[in-house]
Amino acid sequence: MKNESFDVVVVGGGPGGSTAATLVARRGHRVLLLEKETFPRYQIGESLLPATVHGICRLLGVEEEMERAAFTRKRGGSFRWGTNPVPWNFLFALSPEISGPTSYAYQVERMKFDEILLRNAAAKGVEVRENAAVGEVVEDGGQVTGVRYTDADGEVHEVSARYVIDASGNRTRISAAVGGERVYSEHFRNLALFGYFEGGGRLPAPDAGNILCAAFDEGWIWYIPLSDTLTSVGAVISATRAQEIQGDQAAREKALRGFLDRCEIVRDLLGPDAARVTEGTYGELRVRKDYSYANTRFWRPGMALVGDAACFIDPVFSTGVHLATYAGLLAARAVNSVLGGELDEERAFGEFEGRYRREYKVFYEFLSSFYDMQGNEDGYFWKAKKVTAFDTTAMEAFVTLVGGVASGETALTAPAEMVDRFGASARSLSEAVEATGDMTTASGERMNHLFGVPVVGDVMHEMNEIQRRGVLGSATREAPLLPGGLVPTADGLGWTEPA
Ligand code: FAD
């Protein structure tokens, strides 16, 4: 058995792992990333949020590469949701925090996106090893001190490290080592059946790049335009229907066809000309279930969980990659602060877990309300009206939340010219939209009510800061997000006590 030593071992080369590894390496620490597969490899989770694209990707230094990859631009989302038959849209530009140059995200083929992040990690100094499957962690004196992994030749290696970051996704083999347990959501008990189509239609411009989420009697369907011709299409239905779609591809095909036929807007978009891709990586009809859970602990001495290894909520509103990359950043800050001798472990990782849980909880509550209200618009209004007074900021808060960014703090702390530019841009768009009536239709008003629930008012400052750091690349002064908590260092890569 070979033995090596690194400062940090990251397990898994998805977006969470690549983010954590790169941001620790950027502080000059020695990082080993172990990935079971050889990239590019398939993964679901194709619709990104602006916070990832403009915040995390800029911190990682891949924004130009992302631009060159020519992914579909996503300006917002389109919904046919609840009992209202009229589809409604939201634009990221309606949030004052995501205005100007950052009012879009991307729809990505994960094989391409994840590979960009992984190769970038290597370029930024991370030692990346593919075909390296981690089987267990090594412990000593109540502390995680490393991992054992098996390489492509079957040889077992042991690596010691001050920290192990588990970013190995929903099928992690080592997350239990943090000492907690995975608790499955009582609320989200769904499964997804999904595949790919060539030749599907597009929403009218300028919404052609939007994700479309269309509810139907049995659940809802995502329709994600990955290129001019390729579309990711998936049905999310109750897990109690698992029996129907288990089995061979023919059974899945039959089930998916049935769902699509019963969802009018998607059926119309696919039309007679669209053909399901039946060969290659996109040719398989896949099923995912048991994906809504959270671990009761996110860290222990020597180890932290990031991304799906820690938690995931639900595909609606595309929060998975956001939570994974945000957690990657938070974990990197904690690791960097401890390795740099600036903070003790308890304090640094307490901040990591506190912020990560907060982000998870805000989305969990919001998505729960969103599902609860599906199919019963009266109940939905009643609930929303009961908990909030309608005002125009509710819609902005919604877009800010689902963009993965927070309230107006960015504009408040950014240099004057950026404030002016961003602020003016957001205002003019907002005004323009209102003037044209896009968001003030009956369905637009419904959005305002819905997204005025208190949890939306509790949007995070943090993602806003991340995005601003990415855009401006500058030091900032932030208030602690948590009571008695820490603030990010000037470079955004560590924690420090507030002034
Ligand atoms: P992953 O992307 O899963 O990466 C983990 C990596 O670890 C993999 O490369 C794997 O090969 C590797 N690995 C696993 N085991 C080992 C091991 N033992 N040793 C070494 N390496 C290992 N998110 C969105 O943002 N937008 C969406 O539209 C969206 N849609 C979704 C639809 C469905 C049906 C589901 C279930 C999820 C969706 N998600 C979406 C969520 C998204 O897929 C995940 O949240 C995201 O991929 C998590 O990233 P990660 O880095 O934590 O893990």
State the average pLDDT over residues 99-103: 74
109-123, 416-430, 477-491: which is most confident: 109-123
Give the distance from CA 19 to its chain's centroid. Answer: 12
Cβ of 314 closer than 6 Å to ligand 1, yes or no, is no
The residue whose CB lies within 8 Å of the most ligand 1 atoms, and thus the one to mutate among 116, 170, 193, 308, is: 308
Give pLDDT, residue 469: 56
Give pLDDT, residue 425: 40
> Ligand 1 centroid to 14 CA: how many Å?
6
Report how far residue 328's alpha carbon sits from residue 117's, in angstroms, rounded to the nearest whole number: 12
Sign for the CA dihedral angle at 327, 118, 314, 206 comes to positive
pTM reported for the whole predicted model: 0.88
> Ligand 1 centroid to 308 CA: how many Å?
6
State the average pLDDT over residues 295-313: 97
CA-nearest residue, atom 40 of ligand 1: 45
| Closest alpha carbon to 194 in 233, 151, 158 | 233
Cα 430 to Cα 204, 377, 406, 415, distances in angstroms = 20, 26, 17, 22
State the average pLDDT over residues 52-69: 93
pLDDT-derived band at 287 (thresholds 50, 70, 90) equals very high
Give pLDDT, residue 466: 57
Angle at 162 between CA 486 and CA 324, to 5 degrees: 55
The residue whose CB lies within 8 Å of the most ligand 1 atoms, and thus the one to mutate among 32, 34, 35, 164, is: 35
> Ligand 1 centroid to 305 CA: how many Å?
13
ipTM confidence score: 0.99
> Ligand 1 centroid to 424 CA: how many Å?
37
At residue 484, what are phi and psi to the nearest 5 degrees? 70, 15
Cβ of 318 closer than 6 Å to ligand 1, yes or no, is yes
The atom of ligand 1 lying closest to the CA of 135 is 18
Q: Write the single-letter amino acid at 44.
A: I
Kindly state the percentage of the chain with pLDDT values over 70: 77
State the average pLDDT over residues 20-36: 98
Give pLDDT, residue 146: 98
State the average pLDDT over residues 179-203: 94
CA-nearest residue, atom 34 of ligand 1: 192
pLDDT-derived band at 2 (thresholds 50, 70, 90) equals low
Give pLDDT, residue 237: 92
State the average pLDDT over residues 55-74: 94
Q: Which long-range contacts (CB under 8 A, 24 or more apart) does 60-63 make?
A: 60/18, 60/19, 60/22, 60/23, 60/117, 60/120, 60/124, 61/120, 61/124, 62/116, 62/117, 62/120, 63/470
Cβ proximity of 284 and 249 under 8 Å: yes
Cβ proximity of 323 and 311 under 8 Å: yes
CA-nearest residue, atom 38 of ligand 1: 45
24-33, 76-85, 293-302: segment of lowest average pLDDT: 76-85
The atom of ligand 1 lying closest to the CA of 325 is 51
Q: Does position 433 have pLDDT exceeding 50, yes or no?
A: no
Cβ of 312 closer than 6 Å to ligand 1, yes or no, is yes
Report how far residue 152's alpha carbon sits from residue 31's, in angstroms, rounded to the nearest whole number: 20
* Mean residue pLDDT across the chain: 82
> Ligand 1 centroid to 321 CA: how many Å?
8
Cβ of 286 closer than 6 Å to ligand 1, yes or no, is no
CA-nearest residue, atom 44 of ligand 1: 320
257-266 confidence digits (pLDDT tens): 999 999 999 9
Cβ of 195 closer than 6 Å to ligand 1, yes or no, is no
The residue whose CB lies within 8 Å of the most ligand 1 atoms, and thus the one to mutate among 10, 44, 173, 224, is: 44
73-77, 224-228, 385-389, 482-486: segment of lowest average pLDDT: 385-389
| Residue 160 C-beta-side C-alpha neighbours within 13 Å | 8
CA-nearest residue, atom 15 of ligand 1: 168
At residue 190, what are phi and psi to the nearest 5 degrees? -115, 170
Cβ of 287 closer than 6 Å to ligand 1, yes or no, is no
CA-nearest residue, atom 27 of ligand 1: 45
> Ligand 1 centroid to 19 CA: how many Å?
13
The residue whose CB lies within 8 Å of the most ligand 1 atoms, and thus the one to mutate among 321, 322, 463, is: 321
Give pLDDT, residue 150: 98
25-29, 239-243, 494-498: segment of lowest average pLDDT: 239-243
Cβ of 133 closer than 6 Å to ligand 1, yes or no, is yes
Q: Does position 107 have pLDDT exceeding 80, yes or no?
A: yes
The residue whose CB lies within 8 Å of the most ligand 1 atoms, and thus the one to mutate among 36, 226, 256, is: 36
392-413 confidence digits (pLDDT tens): 455 566 666 667 753 222 311 2
> Ligand 1 centroid to 83 CA: how many Å?
32
Cβ of 308 closer than 6 Å to ligand 1, yes or no, is yes
The atom of ligand 1 lying closest to the CA of 132 is 20
Cα 133 to Cα 61, 159, 417, distances in angstroms = 27, 13, 49
Cβ of 55 closer than 6 Å to ligand 1, yes or no, is no
Give pLDDT, residue 470: 58
Cβ of 15 closer than 6 Å to ligand 1, yes or no, is yes
Give pLDDT, residue 399: 62
Please give the residue that has the higher pLDDT: either 49 or 469. Answer: 49
Give pLDDT, residue 311: 98
Report how far residue 278's alpha carbon sits from residue 269's, in angstroms, rounded to the nearest whole number: 19
> Ligand 1 centroid to 448 CA: how many Å?
32
Give pLDDT, residue 38: 98
